[in-house]
Chains A and B, each alone.
Chain A
């Protein structure tokens, strides 16, 4: 079975600072994908970034980047230059073949002005 663990239920960061959200997963699969989704107060689920497990290079999308450590089964999200609009719940997700998704319990991030 696949499990995704987000050990930080809540975090806060000062505006313009950098914050890292942690995620670990457990799987015996060799080929899979990892995602971070953002859920602002509007409740809409928004894709932030994705990482293919077979790629060694860490994915980057503007201010968002990941630190993917395959051997350690770790997939952390770094948000640089935090903005008020980054305030949201962030979910780490694992996907294996067959489009089977497994989500973590989420980290609630608050950006403080």
Chain B
């Protein structure tokens, strides 16, 4: 059971816009930055979005992040076949001893 809640799957056709949600609480998303990671099968994750809505250099502007209250979203516009991957949200959680928490991951399928 992950602290952050994501839908297990999402899908879209090429060119579409898809969003992946990430629900948390006041001890994590509600007061902390959100991070998004992309992972292809058999490989290590890669950071897509940092500090909620910032893109590292090299990440296409088709990817965007946002947050409202205790929920965050990753939006992918102009969906491409190479976007098919697993996506994870993450945030620091302030409760008790403090630790990083991840969502359970969303498998994105490009139909």
A binds B: no
Which residues of A are in contact with B by a Cβ distance under 8 Å?
none
Which residues of B are in contact with A by a Cβ distance under 8 Å?
none
